[in-house]
């Protein structure tokens, strides 16, 4: 299934040093509007390094959005994804949803740990610079009297 989308609105909010929340308003070739959200991994320069779909079935769409800008029009082919991940119903649907939530929680936990480690390293570097500056200040005061 091939779909064509245009980005009408795009909003990015930073939620931590290395994570952002993306929200897109899209319109398809039939004029149907839809909101799509994703979690963004940010680099030190605050640029988006990768996007992670919040809804499992939106993965192909989020992958296409990762390099798109406001007002861009692009195509997404869901055929391969739908063949590999058929829609399930009833009890199997609940099990699939639970697996998707567990996978997402695992990914978010790993992301949190990585973010925590990166922030801790940055804090140690900052404290090292502050300590060096304080040592230089004290040395200067002792020398100058």
pTM, to two decimals: 0.58
Which alpha helices (DSSP H) does 1-89 contain, by range? 59-65, 79-84
pLDDT given for residue 89 in this prediction: 63
Let me know whether 1 and 21 are in one domain: yes
Q: 87, 110, 134 — which closes off a domain?
A: 87
Domains identified in the chain, total number: 2
Whether residues 35 and 80 fall in one domain: yes
pLDDT of residue 59: 92
Provide φ and ψ at 59, rounded to 5°: -50, -50
Q: Show the domain range for 67.
A: 1-87
Same domain assignment for residues 40 and 74 = yes
Question: What pLDDT is stored for residue 31 in this prediction?
Answer: 95
Tell me the mean pLDDT per 10 residues along the chain, length 145. 93 88 93 93 87 90 90 91 77 67 63 62 76 81 78
Q: Which domain-ending residue is among 65, 87, 109?
A: 87
**pLDDT for position 130:** 80
Residue carrying structure tokens 């570097």? 125
């Amino acid at each position: 299934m091939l779909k064509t989308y245009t980005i009408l609105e795009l909003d990015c909010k930073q939620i931590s040093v290395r994570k952002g929340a993306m929200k897109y308003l899209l319109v398809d070739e039939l004029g149907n509007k839809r909101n799509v959200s994703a979690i963004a991994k940010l680099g030190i320069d605050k640029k988006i390094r990768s996007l992670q779909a919040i809804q499992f079935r939106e993965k192909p769409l989020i992958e296409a959005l990762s390099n798109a800008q406001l007002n861009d029009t692009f195509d997404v082919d869901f055929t391969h994804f739908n063949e590999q991940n058929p829609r399930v119903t009833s009890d199997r649907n609940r099990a699939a949803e639970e697996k998707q939530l567990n996978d997402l929680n695992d990914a978010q936990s790993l992301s949190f740990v990585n973010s925590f480690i990166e922030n801790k390293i940055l804090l140690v570097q900052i404290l090292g610079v502050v300590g060096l500056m304080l040592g230089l200040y004290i040395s200067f005061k002792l020398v100058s009297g």
